[in-house]
Amino acid sequence: MAKNIILGLTASIAIYKACDITRRLKDERFSVTVVMTKEATELISPIVFQALSGNKVYHALFAETDVWEIEHVSLADKADLILVAPATANIIAKISSGICDDLLTCIISATKAPVLIAPAMNDNMYKNKIAQENIKRLKGLGYKFIAPKEGLLACGKKGIGCLADVETIVKEAKKNL
C-alpha cells in the first residue's frame, strides 16, 4: 500500500519546482495529495497538480464537498508525511505560532505525521531574526527542515533562500517516512 504524502504549497516563486517534486514522488510510488494556500493558487493553477498527482487538489478551508467529512482532520489522519515545499516565511511563522487560518495550517495542526519543511524565500527574509527563531522553535518541537541553498533569487541577487534541489527534497521525504 502506497504511503500518503500531503504536499503543501505556498506562494513562493519556487512553486514551479513543486511540479517536479510531485512527479518524482509519484515515480517513487507515493500517493501525493496537494494542498495549496489561497495565495499559491494565484501563482499556479490547482489543475496542474491534479493532473500530476492524479488526486484531488485541496485549496479552501470551507470548500463544498460531495461527502461529509472534516477535511483538515481526514487529510491529517491519512498523512504518513506532510511536506511543505516551498515554504514561505509566512507559513513558517503561522505554524510556529499555532495559527490555523487556512486548510494547510489546520492540517499541520491536526496531524500526528512527521512534518518536513523546505523554505524558499528572499535571503533577507530567511536570515531575519524572527524567521530564524521560528525555524529554531519548530525544530525544537520536532519539525524537520530541508535547508535552502544559495543561488540566484527571484529579486535578481545571489543569496541563501533558494528551494533545495528536487532530488534532495525527495530523498529527505523518503527518509522521513
What's the average model confidence in pLDDT over 138-162?
96
Q: What is the arithmetic mean of pLDDT over 93-110? A: 96
pLDDT digits (tens, 9 = 90+) for 19-39: 999 999 999 999 999 999 999
Which sequence spans correspond to the domains of the chain? Answer: 4-175
- Please say whether the structural domain 4-175 has been given the CATH code 3.40.50.1950: yes
Give the confidence band of 69 by pLDDT, cuts at 50, 70, 90.
low
Residue 110 confidence class, pLDDT cut points 50, 70, 90: very high
Is pLDDT of 72 > 80?
Answer: no
Please give the Cα distance from 161 to 107 (Å, whole number): 25
Which tops the pLDDT comparison, 62 or 40? 40
Indicate the pTM of the whole model: 0.95
What pLDDT does 45 receive? 97
pLDDT at 1: 79
pLDDT, residue 68, reads 46
Q: Which of 19, 100, 106, 155 is flagged as catalytic?
A: 155
Residue 108, pLDDT above cutoff 90: yes
Active site residue 155: yes
